[in-house]
């Protein structure tokens, strides 16, 4: 099997998941991105979620690929929405850029979270998951950004060329969890990246700030760096209330979401992933499904939730529209009005 065929089969998360059992000798002894103190979630080489063992590796990945069951996706799944955002907004205005990407405008501050404008969520241009709809905002229509937040280094969240373009255009504050700066600077060595641990707060303006909080996930950019960069969720404090954004997470015990509720109070808005969850036996350790996303909304006591991480890049087995359909069913089962948790399409806008 040649390299092109292998990449087409693995795609993403296949390429990253392959790293579960493919460490080379030097990767066991050092971290190429980060040299920091040992903590309750860093052992000196790798980051981890306390109390949550790593349960999946190369053998399980091979089983998933061998079993098949990948639903066919259409080549195009265009969104009916398209946004041209204002230059600034005092109100809380949230635009879905596609997949896990958002433009958040609040208190006169513009920030993007996990912006991906590339055609593929992949390290290469010729293979890997290809987008089936364009970004919900054209790159040239993005307002000047004050900050760009990156949750973790998987290719469907950290799009290096997009980050470099935004840096070259706006010189925004580039904010990421620990050890991600070296990766981001690989796309533009002039990029200034502010790296933060769980529990840190960063002021983005007089009335807007971001807290870096834990999420149940992992990281890998290549075949030797599994869990060598930290992953995180973000809590945005705005004049209109607090916003919880998660790029990827499992539900696990739900403790981190209840801790966020205890630390920050009820949330005005939660941006929660609802896709890339099948097959469940393999994905449940790292990606939640729609029913679990509804539980997270309850744990956070979020007034409103918006669903993302579906319908743009095929990463896993489920059909393209199933996450939205399963969310509808989960909300009905929980007795939650449908309008309180909306599965967003690219370009769709929510405003407080």
Q: Using one digit for the tens of pLDDT, what is the confidence trace for 136-181?
A: 999 999 999 999 999 999 999 999 999 999 999 999 999 999 999 9
- The pLDDT tens digits of the residues spanning 170-220 come to 999 999 999 999 999 999 999 999 999 999 999 999 999 999 999 999 999
What pairs with residue 106 in β-bridges? Answer: 109
Fold of 93-351: Metallo-beta-lactamase; Chain A (3.60.15)
pLDDT of residue 246: 97
Confidence of residue 28 (pLDDT cuts 50, 70, 90): low
Alpha-carbon distances, residue 282 vs 78, 254, 287 (angstroms): 29, 18, 9
Radius of gyration of the chain (CA): 19
pLDDT of residue 56: 82
Chain-wide mean pLDDT for the chain?
Answer: 92
Q: Look at residue 10 and tell me whether its pLDDT is greater than 70.
A: no
Q: Look at residue 117 and tell me whether its pLDDT is greater than 90.
A: yes
* Contact of 31 with 43, CB cutoff 8 Å: no
Sign of CA dihedral 118, 74, 5, 26: positive
- 268-296 mean pLDDT: 97
């Amino acid at each position: 099997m040649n390299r092109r065929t292998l990449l087409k089969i693995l795609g993403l998360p296949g390429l990253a998941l392959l790293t579960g059992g493919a460490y080379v000798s030097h990767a066991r002894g050092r971290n190429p991105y980060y040299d920091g103190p040992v903590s309750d979630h860093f052992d000196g080489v790798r980051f981890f979620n306390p109390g949550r063992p790593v349960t999946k590796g190369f053998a399980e990945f091979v089983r998933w690929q061998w079993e098949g069951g990948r639903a066919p996706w259409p080549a195009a799944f265009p969104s009916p929405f398209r946004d041209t955002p204002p230059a600034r907004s005092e109100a809380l205005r949230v635009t879905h850029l596609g997949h896990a990407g958002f433009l958040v405008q609040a208190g006169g501050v513009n920030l993007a979270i996990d912006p991906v404008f590339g055609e593929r969520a992949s390290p290469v241009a010729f293979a890997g998951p290809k987008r089936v709809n364009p970004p919900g905002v054209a790159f040239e229509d993005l307002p000047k950004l004050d900050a760009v937040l990156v949750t973790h280094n998987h290719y469907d969240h950290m799009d290096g060329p997009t980050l470099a373009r935004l840096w070259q255009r706006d010189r925004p504050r580039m904010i990421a969890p620990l050890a991600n700066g070296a990766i981001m600077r690989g796309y533009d060595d002039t990029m200034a990246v502010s790296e933060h641990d769980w529990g840190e707060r960063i002021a983005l303006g007089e009335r807007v700030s971001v807290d870096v909080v834990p999420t149940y996930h992992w990281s890998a950019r290549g075949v030797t760096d599994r869990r060598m960069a930290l992953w995180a969720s973000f809590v945005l404090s705005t004049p209109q209330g607090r916003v919880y954004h998660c790029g990827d997470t499992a539900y696990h015990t739900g403790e981190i979401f209840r801790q966020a509720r205890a630390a920050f109070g009820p949330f005005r808005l939660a941006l929660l992933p609802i896709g890339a969850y099948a097959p469940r036996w393999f994905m449940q350790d790292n990606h939640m499904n729609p029913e679990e996303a509804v539980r997270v909304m309850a744990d956070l006591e979020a007034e409103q939730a918006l669903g993302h991480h579906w319908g743009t890049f095929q990463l896993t087995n489920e059909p393209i529209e199933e996450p939205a359909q399963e969310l509808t069913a989960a909300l009905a089962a929980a007795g939650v009005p449908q309008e309180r948790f909306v599965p967003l399409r690219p370009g769709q806008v929510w405003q407080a």
